[in-house]
């Protein structure tokens, strides 16, 4: 893209973004659940205004943080509707626990308590349920969070596919954490904790809709050990954390760029990507930057802390941690990808839903 063309494209996207409109979609589509543009429009134009949006909601963080007595606690909730229920590297029960623990971890909160609410389809095999409940229990023990309660509802045959799992989590915010989605400053660096896109591709391949034999496993795991290591190593230099789930790394970067009003420049060849995942993405025609991870984090750190942060991540088991780019003043609110060939392209939020029901 020429410099002039790029400028025009940036200005057009920026104009569209700042134009705040009513939610005009007549019906809900899968794109509204994909974590990209349509999800953001649903949240910003319908959910937040109709709920009477307080400051917490409007912040759109992975978890809300508020005081309870003298404690500062983080709270989050998620629904999981992944299909199939089991896939290489994980299953819905494990995913639900890790996803909730990770939303707390992104707020700098140590996992404390979790609830598990099940919507079960009449006729569900009890052993399938047992396996998922056991998987959730094992994941909770591994992550050091106590499952304190839950709820079970049963709907008729055909009214849910097998089971949906809704989780909520509460954590205690680490007093060293000074995290904010708007904290990025020009000069800061972008780090990821490991290769991207593995969860989404593992689930897609598990459906057997594609004739691909690639062996890809979900990356689902608790990220609290990685966050704890970062807080030990460089608490003051750690600006923002996100786990790039639905909408992938691209959507997480866009959210942080918009909130901080900075530009994020990603060097494409530095983004870690397993060969099998890259190959599957190419065959499926999907950019891995938009594919969900469920056990990776994106960290923005001050430049002097890059080595300490990478060392901390590796010591916490994130062998593939890498620096992938920088924060710049311009283009404010946008993400650019710099390719190995020297060109740059705008990496916008996810549009549509190429990979439905992956979490």
Within residues 83-112, the interface with a second copy by CB under 8 A covers 112
Select 177 or 190, whichever has its Cβ closest to a second copy.
177
Q: Check if the beta carbon of residue 313 is closer than 8 Å to that of residue 233.
A: no
- Of 129, 183, 212, 346, which lies in the binding site for a second copy, with binding defined by CB under 8 A? 129
Minimum CB distance to a second copy, residue 124 (Å): 4
Which of 62/198 has CB closer to a second copy? 62
Q: Please identify, using beta-carbon distances, which residue of 71 and 329 lies nearer to a second copy.
A: 71
Region from 7-15, 59-67, 284-292, 315-323 binding a second copy, contact rule CB under 8 A = 59-67
**In this structure, which long-range contacts are made by residues 6-12, counting pairs with CB atoms below 8 Å and at least 24 apart in sequence?**
6/344, 6/346, 9/346, 10/331, 10/334, 10/346
| Nearer Cβ to a second copy (4/156) | 156
Structure tokens that stand for 153 in this block:
């509802």
- C-beta of 173: minimal distance to a second copy in Å? 9
Question: Interaction with a second copy in 138-177: which residues (CB under 8 A)?
Answer: 138, 140-141, 146-156, 158-161, 164, 166-168, 170, 172
Q: Is the distance from CB of 162 to CB of 236 less than 8 angstroms?
A: no
Name 238's Cβ contacts closer than 8 Å, sequence gap at least 6.
177, 178, 179, 230, 231, 299, 300, 301, 305, 309
Residues 318-357, interacting with a second copy (CB under 8 A): 353, 356-357
**209 scored as a contact of a second copy (CB under 8 A):** no
Contact flag: residue 282 with a second copy (CB under 8 A): no
Per CB under 8 A, 76 contacts a second copy: yes
Considering the complex, what minimum distance in angstroms separates the CB of residue 171 from a second copy? 9
Q: Is 123 in the site for a second copy (CB under 8 A)?
A: yes
> Applying CB under 8 A, does 182 fall inside the site for a second copy?
no
Pull the structure tokens for residue 209.
């809709």
Give 38: exposed, middle or buried? Use CB within 10 Å, 0-12, 13-18, 19+: buried
CB of 212 to a second copy, least distance (A): 22
Supply 25's token pair: 């979609």
| Binding of a second copy by 307 (CB under 8 A) | no
Report the length, in residues, of the chain.
359
Residue 252 is classified by DSSP as H
Report CA dihedral (163, 152, 159, 25) to the nearest 10 degrees.
-90
Q: Strand, coil or helix: what is 77?
A: strand
Q: Which of 104, 119, 192, 302 lies at the binding interface for a second copy (CB under 8 A)?
A: 119
Cβ atoms of residues 107 and 66 within 8 Å:
no
Please select the residue that binds a second copy; options are 13, 47, 183, 322, rule is CB under 8 A.
47
Peptide bond between residue 184 and the one before it cis (omega within 30 degrees of 0): no
Residues 10, 36, 41, 61: which binds a second copy (CB under 8 A)?
Answer: 61
Q: Using the rule CB under 8 A, is 207 a contact of a second copy?
A: no
CB of 268 to a second copy, least distance (A): 30
- The CA-based angle 229-246-330, given to 5 degrees, is 75
Paired tokens of 20: 């705040």
- Give the shortest CB-211-to-a second copy separation in angstroms: 23
Q: Is 20 in the site for a second copy (CB under 8 A)?
A: no
């Amino acid at each position: 893209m020429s410099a002039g063309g790029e400028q025009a494209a940036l200005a057009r996207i920026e104009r569209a973004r700042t134009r705040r409109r009513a939610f005009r979609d007549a019906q809900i589509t899968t794109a509204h659940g994909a974590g990209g543009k349509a999800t953001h429009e649903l949240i910003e134009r319908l959910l937040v205004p109709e709920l009477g949006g307080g400051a917490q909601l409007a912040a759109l963080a992975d978890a809300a943080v508020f005081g309870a007595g003298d404690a500062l606690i983080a709270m989050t909730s998620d629904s999981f509707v992944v299909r199939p229920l089991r896939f290489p590297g994980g299953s819905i029960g494990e995913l639900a626990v890790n996803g909730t623990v990770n939303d707390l971890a992104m707020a700098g909160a140590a996992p404390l308590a979790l609830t598990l609410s099940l919507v079960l389809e009449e006729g569900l095999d009890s052993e399938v349920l047992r396996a998922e409940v056991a998987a959730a229990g094992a994941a909770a023990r591994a992550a050091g969070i106590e499952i304190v309660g839950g709820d079970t509802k049963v709907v008729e045959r055909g009214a849910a596919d097998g089971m949906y799992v809704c989780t909520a989590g509460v954590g205690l915010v680490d007093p060293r954490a000074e995290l904010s989605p708007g904290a990025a400053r020009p000069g800061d660096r972008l780090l990821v904790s490991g290769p991207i896109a593995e969860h989404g591709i593992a689930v897609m391949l598990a459906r057997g809709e594609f004739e691909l034999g690639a062996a890809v496993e979900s990356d689902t795991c608790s990220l609290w050990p990685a966050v704890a290591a970062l807080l030990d190593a460089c608490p003051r230099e750690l600006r923002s954390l996100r786990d790039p789930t639905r909408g992938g790394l691209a959507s997480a970067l866009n959210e942080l760029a918009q909130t901080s009003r900075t530009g994020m420049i990603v060097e494409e060849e530095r983004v870690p990507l397993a060969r099998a995942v890259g190959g599957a993405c190419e065959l499926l025609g999907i950019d891995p930057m938009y594919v969900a991870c469920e056990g990776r984090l994106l960290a923005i750190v001050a430049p002097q802390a890059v080595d300490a942060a990478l060392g901390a991540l590796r010591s916490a088991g994130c062998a593939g941690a890498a620096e992938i780019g920088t924060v710049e003043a311009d283009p404010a609110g946008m993400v650019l990808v710099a390719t190995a060939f020297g060109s740059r392209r705008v990496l916008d939020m996810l549009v549509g839903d190429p990979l439905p029901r992956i979490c």
